[in-house]
């Protein structure tokens, strides 16, 4: 008489229990993780704006002025015509977009100081709360 052995593998019920546990963990951990990601984007935008401010100050030390709104951030990598005192490049890499993929807004003279640098957050419009909150150079 041959004894039948149970073949390896999982039963439907065992797989269902594992999927339920994974779903519960995702429901508990997911929202907390999402909040951290959105806060990280805000922090990254603030850090980039501070880096741009340092590059702007270095440009001003060399040339005696901040770049105009029209010149923008491209003066960090390319010498403007007629500026013999330019000692750039002032940033080692190309100018990145903000963490939401849009270009930063630069104004000189600014409404809040010598210059304004703005990222409009996830919604790309002025104002907002949470991830939609603007990240600015003057705060």
| Domains in the chain with CATH codes | 12-136 (3.30.700.10)
Give the per-residue pLDDT at 122: 85
Mean pLDDT of 47-57: 93
Mean pLDDT of 18-41: 76
Question: Looking at the predicted structure, is the pLDDT value of residue 60 above 70?
Answer: yes
How many residues are listed for the chain in this entry?
139
Burial class (CB in 10 A: 0-12, 13-18, 19+), 133: middle
Q: How far is CA 44 from the centre of its chain?
A: 5
**pLDDT per residue over 75-119, tens digit each?**
999 998 888 899 989 998 888 999 999 999 999 998 999 999 999
Residue 119 CB neighbours (<10 A): 26
Q: What percent of the chain has pLDDT over 70?
A: 88
Give the per-residue pLDDT at 75: 92
Question: Looking at the predicted structure, is the pLDDT value of residue 37 above 70?
Answer: no
Question: Looking at the predicted structure, is the pLDDT value of residue 7 above 70?
Answer: no
Segments in the chain forming alpha helices (H) = 12-63
- Tokens representing 76 are 């960090």
State the Cα angle at 108 between 95 and 133, rounded to 5°.
65
């Amino acid at each position: 008489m041959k004894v039948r052995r149970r073949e390896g593998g999982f039963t439907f019920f065992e797989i269902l229990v594992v999927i339920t546990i994974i779903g519960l963990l995702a429901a508990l951990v997911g929202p907390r993780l999402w909040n951290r990601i959105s806060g990280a984007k805000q922090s990254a935008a603030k850090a980039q704006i501070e880096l741009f401010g340092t590059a702007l100050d270095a440009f001003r030390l060399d040339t005696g002025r901040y770049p105009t709104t029209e010149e923008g951030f491209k003066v960090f990598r390319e010498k403007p015509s007629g500026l013999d005192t330019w000692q750039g490049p002032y940033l080692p890499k190309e100018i990145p977009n903000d963490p939401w993929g849009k270009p930063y807004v630069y104004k000189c003279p600014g409404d809040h100081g010598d210059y304004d640098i703005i990222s409009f957050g996830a919604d790309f419009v002025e104002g907002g709360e949470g991830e939609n909150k603007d990240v600015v150079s003057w705060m």
